[in-house]
Amino acid sequence: MTPKPGRRPKPDRLVIASHNSGKVREIETLLAPFGVAVVSAAALGLPEPEETGTTFRANAELKAVAAATAAKLPALADDSGLAVRALKGAPGIYSARWGGAAKDFNLAMERVQRELGAAKDRRAQFVCALSLAWPDGFCETFEGTVDGTIVWPPRGDKGFGYDPMFVAEGARETFAEMDPDAKHAISHRADAFRKLVAAYFAA
């Protein structure tokens, strides 16, 4: 494929710049149809950079650039999280940190529910920024969202993170109850990934 202005050719091998096994599995599934060999940052023993950005985009970019530089391979990083309207967008970029040092999402979900209390507005949004970086520092970012509602108690065991407490608009099941293929069709990560595919993998 001829690269678009400012873009690079389709990468044949990618580092997935994440130590989150659930996130790595989702990205591997999304990449599977395109014949891209993938390896996780954890498998390469790459350290997790400190997420010092103030937005999903900034954190995705710093993780992608760090992994690409260290591995000398193109790297794809995801920064994503849950933004709850009644909590003024929290937990947002701190979604994982709401689970404490162990990133225990059961604790994180309990905190969301506790802070919502009796709030009637339970609207929320999952946000994803996907950044593709190259060893020379070139980086592009694609963003996606999905709107939905917070439910309690959590339901389902197929997802990860906040999936058991999130029902997307137009759905009845939480992300953790849905068949993975059904979730991949509508998720925030899939929304961002479609934009990445259009830029790098479309014919």
Helix (H/G/I), strand (E/B), else coil: 39: strand
* pTM (2 d.p.): 0.86
Dump pLDDT digits (tens) for 150-194.
999 999 999 889 999 999 999 999 999 999 889 989 999 989 999
Instruction: Name the least confident of 18-22, 35-39, 69-73, 193-197.
Output: 18-22
User: Among this protein's residues, is 181 annotated catalytic?
Assistant: no
Name the catalytic one among 79, 136, 147, 181. 79
How, if at all, do strands 75-84 and 123-133 pair?
antiparallel
The enclosing H or E element of 71 equals helix 56-71
Dump pLDDT digits (tens) for 69-117.
999 999 999 999 999 999 999 999 999 999 998 989 999 999 999 999 9
Q: How many CA atoms lie within 13 A of 125 on its CB side?
A: 15
Domains of the chain: 13-200 (3.90.950.10)
